[in-house]
């Protein structure tokens, strides 16, 4: 298969029949602020464990700490690569991915080179994604498009390049750009590569209504720091 043998077909979730467990498993709990401290990382791990989310998404320097805390759980460690600008040289992204996996990351969220994409240098973009996929040695790779900087054609091409390069997910945003995830972008990305690849919505998901709108549009992962709010809203809504 184009994605290097990763053969899971990622089914779109139905909001009408969504369970609490399924909702939790869409979430990558994000602790990515430049000011994040070890205390905040530990708190993030506690939230991830409490709600049994899919992963905790952190900067590479905290991967080993998170891996140690989460080693006996189902929660994966997700490291960002080339974050947040995507302007690192491919060799640096590859090295960062290799180290993250060595430290215990099972998932990698890499930012593609937005400038190269906009210039139409698709070979460069494809090859840098391939290098991270290879460096990941089986880790699940999500490619961040930073959709706020792209037109529709560029978003489609970026999704296709991610698939050709063997990535497993396409992701909207870093959360550090001028705009985050939009429903129309999730729909476009899902139409382009779903269900062969997953679609991750990230940036601006602050509550349950945002989360459900993204899932309805085709997102199968959500990057958010508002995990506790989302899950508490779910419980309040369904167990009054």
Please give the positions annotated as active site: 109, 171, 200
The answer to whether 79 touches 50, Cβ cutoff 8 Å, is no
The rounded distance, in Å, linking the Cα atoms of 183 and 181 is: 7
Report the distance separating Cα 21 and Cα 5, nearest Å: 27
Q: Is 171 exposed, middle or buried (0-12, 13-18, 19+ CB in 10 A)?
A: buried
Question: 173-210 as b/e, with b when 16 or more CB fall inside 10 Å?
Answer: bbbbbeebbbeebbbbbbebbbebbbbbbbbbbeebeb
Cα separation, 26 vs 49, in Å, equals 14
In degrees and rounded to multiples of 5, residue 39 shows phi and psi of -60, -45
Task: State the burial class of residue 152 (Cβ atoms within 10 Å of its Cβ: 0-12, 13-18, 19+).
Answer: exposed
> CA dist 9 to 56, 186, 198, Å?
23, 17, 8
3-state secondary structure (DSSP) of residue 155: helix
Give the position of tokens 């060595």. 102
């Amino acid at each position: 298969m184009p994605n290097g043998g990763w053969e899971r077909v990622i089914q779109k979730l139905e909001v009408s029949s969504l369970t609490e467990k399924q909702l939790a498993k869409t979430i990558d709990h994000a602790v990515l602020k430049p000011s994040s401290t070890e205390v905040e990382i530990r708190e993030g791990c506690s939230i991830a464990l409490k709600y049994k989310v899919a992963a905790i998404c952190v900067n590479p320097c905290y991967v080993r700490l998170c891996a140690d805390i989460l080693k006996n759980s189902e929660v994966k460690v997700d490291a960002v690569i080339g974050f947040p600008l995507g302007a690192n040289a491919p060799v640096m992204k590859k090295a960062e991915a290799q180290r993250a996996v060595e430290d215990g990351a099972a998932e990698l969220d890499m930012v593609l080179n937005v400038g190269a994409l906009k210039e139409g240098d698709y070979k460069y973009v494809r090859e840098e994604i391939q290098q991270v996929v290879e460096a990941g040695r089986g880790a699940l790779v999500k490619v961040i498009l930073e959709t706020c900087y792209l037109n529709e054609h560029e978003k489609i091409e970026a999704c296709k390049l991610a698939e050709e390069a063997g990535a497993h997910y396409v992701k909207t945003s870093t959360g550090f750009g001028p705009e985050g995830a939009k429903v129309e972008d999730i729909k476009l990305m899902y139409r382009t590569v779903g269900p062969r690849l997953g679609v991750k919505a990230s940036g601006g998901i602050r509550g349950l209504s945002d989360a459900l709108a993204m899932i309805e549009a085709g997102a199968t992962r959500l990057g958010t720091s508002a995990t506790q709010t989302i899950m508490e809203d779910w419980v309040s809504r369904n167990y009054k």
